[in-house]
């Protein structure tokens, strides 16, 4: 049974990690497409319209890949996690069905209209189609995160005699205090991914000496919106979510920070390695009092350490949680530096001539993906050993009739299939980027 649990978790972790590569871009990119179409509608500059149509092609490839890789996740609820589905289906089935029936059809319908209907419906309705596409992507994220938030902080439910969860107040799903900080933090993180991709592709065009006018447009739009997004990601949204963790999952908070001893004026660890045998952080570099202040707004506030909790209630893998959290925070700090430095150079009208900055922007493209996935790992590692926090253990949610061997076999199949899908995705996106959004201009063009 332990092997089956391990392989069930590995399979879901692998498939959802690969899947989340795609929606984290589309949720942020949809806003930038609306922004480009809005500017075009206002001033009639065809450059913005071409830019919007260019990014809609990349959006479409990501959307299709997201659909293809999202379907197996739904099936796994019935195959690998049948007991979890049986017990909680009356709750999570509500939001998952709404995501599929409402948000997905809204996205797919208006994506088709946006891609192929501009001449038919005209400028204003084409902008409306972009706006509805944006609403669809945001609704999709909301329904998924509402499901996730209920698992992190269950509300509005009762447990029947047979152990099944049922909703006694549907509105509580969307009034969950965990939901909105988590949702806005996630959407801001998606915006960060999209802005780094847009500015990074713009930097690639400038370094390659082609599509220079669009390259500058992409960099400018990516840097301005990215600078705003990264600030909002941290404060207020990140701060609000951290306070929810401190209030409702205090064990998770101290595991994230590697705090073993109860401490007044608890420090924030910048660098260090968890030593589980001796229950301490090796080679720690700390900022005194900061964790207490960020958690309770008091420099000397006491924070209860892991050692004062029952070890059976600790997150299953404290080092993995600690490293995922510090990877997310560390990359976020680097993103702030990149965006604010780029914004400063843009303000000084010196950005486009700085080749070193263009290289940084271009090579930064993968790292918001890593940070986003690390953030989801923090949520998942932090909730363990529970599927529904403090109510249903992960070990009690797997399918009793699916063997470890069957799960391992299908996991290997997913690895092979997703490798091929990944190669196909890179080829398709690479072809769109290589073709570009408009006429090719050399380095001697008047647009330089």
pLDDT tens digits for 318-355?
A: 999 999 999 999 999 999 999 999 999 999 999 999 99
Which tens digit of pLDDT belongs to each residue from 147-174? Answer: 999 999 999 999 999 999 999 999 999 9
Give the whole-angstrom CA distance, residue 314 versus residue 296. Answer: 22
Give the whole-angstrom CA distance, residue 404 versus residue 98. Answer: 32
Per-residue pLDDT in tens (0 to 9) along the chain, 448 residues: 568 999 999 999 999 999 999 999 999 999 999 999 999 999 999 999 999 999 999 999 999 999 999 999 989 999 999 999 999 999 999 999 999 888 988 999 999 999 999 999 999 999 999 999 999 999 999 999 999 999 999 999 999 999 999 999 999 999 999 999 999 999 999 999 999 999 999 999 999 999 999 999 999 999 999 999 999 999 999 999 999 999 999 999 999 999 999 999 999 999 999 999 999 999 999 999 999 999 998 999 999 999 999 999 999 999 999 999 999 999 999 999 999 999 999 999 999 999 999 999 999 999 999 999 999 999 999 999 999 999 999 999 999 999 999 999 999 999 999 999 999 999 999 999 999 997 654 433 333 3
Q: Kindly report the pTM of this predicted structure.
A: 0.95
Residue 330 token pair:
């560390």
Give the whole-angstrom CA distance, residue 82 versus residue 62. Answer: 29
Give the whole-angstrom CA distance, residue 372 versus residue 351. Answer: 27
Q: Which helix (H) or strand (E) holds 328?
A: helix 318-347
Burial class for 286, CB neighbours closer than 10 Å (0-12, 13-18, 19+)? middle
* Backbone phi and psi for residue 178, each to the nearest 5 degrees, phi listed first: -80, -25
Residue 159's beta-bridge partner residues?
165
Omega prior to 385 cis, within 30 of 0:
yes
For residue 119, the tally of other CB atoms under 10 A from its CB is 7
Residue 286's beta-bridge partner residues?
269
Give the whole-angstrom CA distance, residue 328 versus residue 374. Answer: 6
Give the whole-angstrom CA distance, residue 6 versus residue 309. Answer: 25
Domain ranges of the chain: 2-262+304-435
Residue 287's beta-bridge partner residues?
268
Reduced to 3 states, what is the DSSP secondary structure of residue 297? coil
Reduced to 3 states, what is the DSSP secondary structure of residue 68? helix
Give the whole-angstrom CA distance, residue 332 versus residue 189. Answer: 9
């Amino acid at each position: 049974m332990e092997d089956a649990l391990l392989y069930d978790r590995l399979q879901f972790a692998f498939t959802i990690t690969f899947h989340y590569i795609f929606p984290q871009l589309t949720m942020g990119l949809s806003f930038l497409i609306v922004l480009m179409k809005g500017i075009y509608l206002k001033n009639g500059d065809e450059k913005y319209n071409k830019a919007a149509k260019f990014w809609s092609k990349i959006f479409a490839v990501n959307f299709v890949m997201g659909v293809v890789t999202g379907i197996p996740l739904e099936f796994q609820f019935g195959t690998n996690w049948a007991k979890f589905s049986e017990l909680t289906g009356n709750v999570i089935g509500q939001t998952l069905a709404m995501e599929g029936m409402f948000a997905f059809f809204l996205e797919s319908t208006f994506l088709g209209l946006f891609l192929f209907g501009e001449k038919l419906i005209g400028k204003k309705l084409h902008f409306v189609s972009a706006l509805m596409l944006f609403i669809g992507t945001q609704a999709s994220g909301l329904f998924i995160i509402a499901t996730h938030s209920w698992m992190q902080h269950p509300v509005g439910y009762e447990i029947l005699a047979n152990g099944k969860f049922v909703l006694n107040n549907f509105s509580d799903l969307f009034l969950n205090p965990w939901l909105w900080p988590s949702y806005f933090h996630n959407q801001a993180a998606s915006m960060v991914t999209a802005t780094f991709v847009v500015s990074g592709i713009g930097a690639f065009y400038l370094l390659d000496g082609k599509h220079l006018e669009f390259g500058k447009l992409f960099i400018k739009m990516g840097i301005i919106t990215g600078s705003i997004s990264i600030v909002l990601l941290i404060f207020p949204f990140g701060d609000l979510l951290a306070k929810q963790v401190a209030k409702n999952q205090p064990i998770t908070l101290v595991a994230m920070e590697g705090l073993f001893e109860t401490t007044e004026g608890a420090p924030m660890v910048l660098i260090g390695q968890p030593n589980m045998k001796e229950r301490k952080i090796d080679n720690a570099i700390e900022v005194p009092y900061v964790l207490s202040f960020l958690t309770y707004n008091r420099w000397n506030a006491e924070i209860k350490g892991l050692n004062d909790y029952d070890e059976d209630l600790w997150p299953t893998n404290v080092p993995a949680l600690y490293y995922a959290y510090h990877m997310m925070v560390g990359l976020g700090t680097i993103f702030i530096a990149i965006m604010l430095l780029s914004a400063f150079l843009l303000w000084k009208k010196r950005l486009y001539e700085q080749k070193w900055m263009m290289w940084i922007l271009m090579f930064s493209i993968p790292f918001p993906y890593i940070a986003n996935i690390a953030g989801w790992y923090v949520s998942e590692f932090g909730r363990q050993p529970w599927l529904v926090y403090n109510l249903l253990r992960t070990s009690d949610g797997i399918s009793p009739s699916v063997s470890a061997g069957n799960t391992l076999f299908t996991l290997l199949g997913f690895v092979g299939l997703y490798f091929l899908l990944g190669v196909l995705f890179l080829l398709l996106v690479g072809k769109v980027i290589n073709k570009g959004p408009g006429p090719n201009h050399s380095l001697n063009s008047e647009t330089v």
